[in-house]
Amino acid sequence: MDSPLQSPIPCFQAGKALHILTFHSILLEAAFLMNLIELNYLDLSFNIFTGSIPDELGFIPNLKTLALSFNSLTEPIPSSLGMLRNISILSLSTCGLNSSIPPQIGYMKNLFSLDLSENHLTDFLSISGLPLVTLFTDDNNFSGAIPADFGQSNQLEDINFSSNSFYGALPSRVCDNNKLMYFDASYYSFMGLLPESLRNCTSLIWLSLNKNYLDGNISEDLGNYPDLSGLYISENQFFGFIPQNIGKTMPNLTFLSVGNNHITGPIPSTLMSLQYLNASYNHITGNIPSSMPNMMRLSLSNNLITGSTSASVGNMSELAIFNLSENNLTGTMPSLPPTLNYFMISNNHIMGNIPNSIGYLSNVYILDVYGNGLSGIIPPSSGNCSLLEVLDLSNNNLLENIPWSLGNLENLLTFRLNDNKLSGEIPSSLKNCSNLEIIDFGENQLSGDIPPWIGESLS
């Protein structure tokens, strides 16, 4: 039953034969539960319940699914829930629950799905002996080491530990059964090497270990994951080369995030299926591969990458984000696809003119080419980039006037043209850029007065 009722639920006098009950947007009084002895499925998610989970829920002997997510049940989980010996799905996410998990939860010998995410729970529980398939404990206050028996005799396929305060090594038996498909242990303080069971876990589809203190040689310690589509190991201490055959051992890899590590060597040319690559803040060398036609988000800033961008970008027809700032790129600005949202190549060695085709970037929000050797004029077609919020052409060798057409950029927030060779007056059309927060036209050869509207815009 889906209902917008705002009054308490009455006691179900004839509810003994009821098997499925779903309510949304109601007030809860425990008395209505007393007669529901045959109930199998109870979904009370997305309501306005406050206080504690009623003890009476533990006295519905045939209950198999209990969902209380998205309420305000801030009291501890009652131990009476451990009496639900037939329960298979328990969802208590986003309730504001605090304190520790009662050990009686470990008595639920038929429990295969447990969701405790986004609460304030402490003291992780032992799940040894539970037939869990999915376990979500992300965004809580769990701390300490994962219990030593974690992973023993379980059937886990989907685990999310992210955003807690665990530390120590990753659980050594996390993938003993080789059934694990999704594992998220990001935003922790885990350290050390990847456990052998995880390196040999060929069933993995998604592995996220961002922002830990894990280390090891990435070319030796990563396993062969034939079904893996997402690998996130940014902000760790990994070193070594990205394996050159990674596109063959992981042919389905679509998302790869290895930023903020100590990785060296080139980007492999075998990543044909990749759509997202973040390898910023490493020591990567070589050219940008031209063999990533499906790429949509490419972030390789703060590396040692060389060569031209023209050949590689020309093959990326769906590119939305391109960030190669702080590298050693040379050549000219490439022709950019109209799908582009962010283009950042600051502090490289790009030469030549800004192409007129830049005016076709109707979806671009950030255009940052600061600190290169660009010359020639600012193309008047730039005024067609109506969604632009950040335009930074500073520290180049741009000449002549600021185009009148830039007054069409009404969404512009940051506008930097400083340290060029621009001349003429500041066009009055820029008064239309009424959202400007930062303007820097210094170190040019501009003439005339500072327009009074500049102060009005910035105020």
CATH superfamily of domain region 351-458: Ribonuclease Inhibitor (3.80.10.10)
Q: Which two tokens stand for residue 200?
A: 């040999």
Tens-digit pLDDT profile for residues 195-212: 888 888 899 999 999 999
Tens-digit pLDDT profile for residues 29-78: 556 666 777 889 999 888 888 888 888 888 888 999 999 998 888 888 89
Confidence of residue 160 (pLDDT cuts 50, 70, 90): very high
Tens-digit pLDDT profile for residues 298-335: 999 999 999 998 878 878 989 999 999 999 999 999 88
**Given this model, what pLDDT does residue 33 score?**
66
**Given this model, what pLDDT does residue 445 score?**
93
CA dist 33 and 15 (Å) reads 9
Dmax (CA) for the chain in angstroms is 87
Neighbours of 296 (CB within 10 A): 19
Answer whether 396's CB lies under 8 Å from 374's CB: yes
| Region for residue 21 given its phi and psi (left: phi exceeds 0; alpha: psi -120 to 50; beta: otherwise) | beta
Residue with tokens 């592995």: 207
Q: Which residue has the higher pLDDT, 306 or 165?
A: 306
Lowest mean pLDDT among 173-177, 212-216, 245-249: 173-177
Checking DSSP bridges between strand 213-217 and strand 237-241, what pairing results, if any?
parallel
Q: What is the sign of the dihedral through the CA atoms of 189, 192, 196 and 199?
A: positive
Q: How would you write 408-446 as a 3-class SS string? A: HCCCCCEEECCCCEEEECCCHHHHHCCCCCEEECCCCEE
Domain residue ranges of the chain, discontinuous segments joined by +: 351-458
Element (H, E) at 247: helix 246-249
pTM surpassing 0.75?
Answer: yes
